[in-house]
Amino acid sequence: MSLSDLLEKVSAVAGKLKVETSEIHNEACIVVEREGALGFFRKLRNEPDLDFDMLIDVTAVDYLGREPRFEVVYQFLSLEKNHRLRVKIGVPESDVRVHTLSEIWKSANWLEREAYDMFGVHFDGHPDLRRILMYEEFEGYPLRKDYPVDKRQPLTEERDPVVHDWKF
């Protein structure tokens, strides 16, 4: 399936949610509205012509000074159809949240935790949204463009990872 055919099918599934589509570096990309996106993602997985059965990555981008300030970016792959798709959702600084995809793709669990930890994106409905890379007491989100590079973090007691009571 060509990229233009793929984008045409994805656009049909997105319907009114679609903001724009593009082909960047020989990859299909679609920007969709945040409201109602969960249904769109379900269709990406379940639509036989699309069959995006693998969520490869979830991350965010901080466009400080632009509105919406953040974009949550998803990378999908269809193993059987061998096509890829990038989906972007604009998120305003005043309400940095989207719905979790962990109920559709299990890999979203850890990927969303990383985006939360680094950018402060809240994933509504996530089963265990807590820091994954930084320690619990860490203040702020280090990949935001306005994060101060000279910020001092609170000191904490050393933790033994073998003895520590981890909550998995």
pTM of the predicted model as reported, rounded to 2 decimal places: 0.88
What is the domain-level CATH number for residue 78?
A: 3.30.460.80
* Domain assignment present for 72: yes
Number of domains in the chain: 1
Residue appearing with tokens 């996106």: 37
Query: pLDDT tens digits, residue range 42-94?
Result: 999 999 999 999 999 999 999 999 999 999 999 999 999 999 999 999 999 99
Encoding tokens for residue 47?
């639509």
Q: Measured between alpha carbons, how far is 93 from 109 in angstroms, rounded to an integer? A: 23
Encoding tokens for residue 122?
């809240």
* Domain assignment present for 142: no
Q: What are phi and psi of 43, to 5 degrees?
A: -65, -35
Residue 166 is predicted with a pLDDT of 57
* Domain assignment present for 162: no
* Domain assignment present for 158: no
* Domain assignment present for 143: no
Element (H, E) at 102: none
Range of the domain at 99: 3-124
* Domain assignment present for 73: yes
Alpha helical stretches, state H, 47-156: 108-119
Q: Is the pLDDT of residue 157 over 90?
A: no
* Domain assignment present for 91: yes
Beta strand residue intervals within the chain, DSSP E: 18-24, 27-32, 54-62, 70-78, 83-91, 97-99, 122-124
Alpha helical stretches, state H, 3-154: 3-14, 37-46, 108-119
* Domain assignment present for 96: yes
| Percentage of residues of the chain with pLDDT beyond 70 | 95
